[in-house]
Structure 1
């Protein structure tokens, strides 16, 4: 069941404990439970729940120790979040959540060797005992985060101890009710004490796209942002302004009365269209400068067939999907860069003359890779660097398009030549994914060092997983003949 049996531990007690748990879990997983009474089934579930609750408490200290002793040479990743993602096969969000929890709930060691108790010492104890689960812990952490800064340290510690004690007896929803009432006692007026309390609440969240390509989101605006939005909405969210249903939408001038009268949009829809117009105007202004060697712009890729039929969906440099008809309408605002790029007349092969990939090469990589090529990484092309995937620059690699690939800021430093580094290779023409980048994990991640490829930005591959012919896949040297791709670089709206 576990790979720990293949590892020799320096602490035999730890090795014996892991072996005992591994054996016990194997027996449980293979045991029939038909002969148990319902009372016995409940007892088994209760025992298992206690184990589930205890395990994160043990993990918090291990995660803190990984952070404190990073750089010891046994693992390559200096960033603990990255190490957890690769070693445990968990999402970046989950890895970040575990690291943050470990800082509050795990035992730490100072540089002088002194042991430091967790910040939430009582909550951590309840979790280690198996009395408090993840939902209990979440209630307590949220309660403490929402307390005003004016609440003194002693009062916070007393409140944490009270809630941790209740977590041993109450369900999470009951604990939440108790925490809400305790918050009223500590902050009866519900007021914020200072500017920092307001500032830490500001947020903007754009959720994932739904099947209809629409994205839900939420935000908490500070007073300054609200003041700016009020001014924008006063101008651009009036009835008859920025109405996409008008053949020639009114933008700069006041709308004619008839135009305003036939505007059937709700207030929320008008404000949505006002924000869209503001973003388009800002991109068109050129005041945003450059990002990773390209003007701050919207980059959209589509197949040549989709362009010709005006159907299907295109992909942005941020990884979102745009219906082809919308992409073509967006392109009407572009004064520049509506073109089909190929490898003729464009400096895609730079040899050793330049270390960093050019803007032209980045445009090609937006289509070839879609985003970071590290296995499972969801970072889109907008957030990636160009990486020498075939041979590192320091080892004599050349800055040619068939040797470059996308790697995000977090995963780019993981690539290297050492045994604890990830190695990258470019697939040859006979590979099922020619021209794509494989990442080979170090032995502490996978002793077999099986090459991995990122299908995240090519989700159709999750469904097919079949070997494709050269005719169906792009070659290692990009060209319209091989790819049939068009690029829209929408820079001037």
Structure 2
């Protein structure tokens, strides 16, 4: 069988000749110009060739890294890595090749697992994993895929005989080019769990021990939450946040999705990145938990306490403070937070003496929130799919001006769109009981009304 190095050399020559043939820009063209002139099909064909050459190169790297790994095993006269002044064989391989420690570790692991085995008399034994060895040497398999297969076979080996193990090796090697590395990882896990069902429980318990969360203050009003969790809690978190991170393109007045460019409305567009949407969704889940928390602390209902000057609350200009958080927030943010019953604003005078601890008639009652949920069905912003449980009951006209908290002056907005409504100076007009959003001039110079999304309207008359 042709060695991987010779196959790699042959493919490299063929690749260079192929690129020369495809070169439309002349002998003086740069490699970037040549690549830019290829058709889509030609580009993908070249990538496939390079992918196979990459696999062959990594197979050679793994082969020789495996030799270095075997010669660096403890118990020998003088391990190779130690002689080179390195703390590990991966460090030595990384230094020699310029590769990252992660890549070098992978080469060493695969190479050591496939290294030549000898009897006590020095005779060479057959490879333990002939299919993986063959696929790597042919460039059909990358080192990462090879490592996944070898790790899975090692986990299954104590519970299977040789024939069963070889059958699974052939299956995984055959599936690897089809399913890719991500699919192969799931496939390997599934096979291991079939052989050892109890291992799932053991793995879960091991993962729970590693569960942890930290909060770091980064300065300048920024905080970092670090949450390392297991599959169970990740599934719960994913189920809770996914519905809140899938924005729908705003369309017609009935709130249905619109895919055509003609119906796309820039003024209503959600311009957040996926990371920002996930952040806001997690915040919405926390906010909903706070609003519905049944517990108490030292006999007092679980409550987020805000402090702000009276003028800041009235005008919306200034700052407020959340008890226990050093960084201040804007007065506008405090007013939005005060829409929830479990958030209590403490209005202070100039001497920081409490003047008022909330106002009962400022908040929408539970019955009013149910009515708003039935009427609006969730966030009334066109194109938003946030459910009522993740919405604020917002005042259409500011409560400070009207002192009016009723269904005619109420509308459901998710926290993101509530913030947009306040900060971007949107207005609402009601026409025959139906609210329409009026955009600010900087978003739409015509200030054309957009009908709010309401999934359940009262019948006319």
TM over 0.5: no
Greater CA radius of gyration, 1 or 2? 2
Q: Give the shorter-chain TM-score range.
A: 0.3 to 0.5
The structure in which a higher percent of residues are helix is 2
Higher relative contact order (CA 8 A, sep 6+): 1
Question: TM-score, normalising length from structure 2?
Answer: 0.35
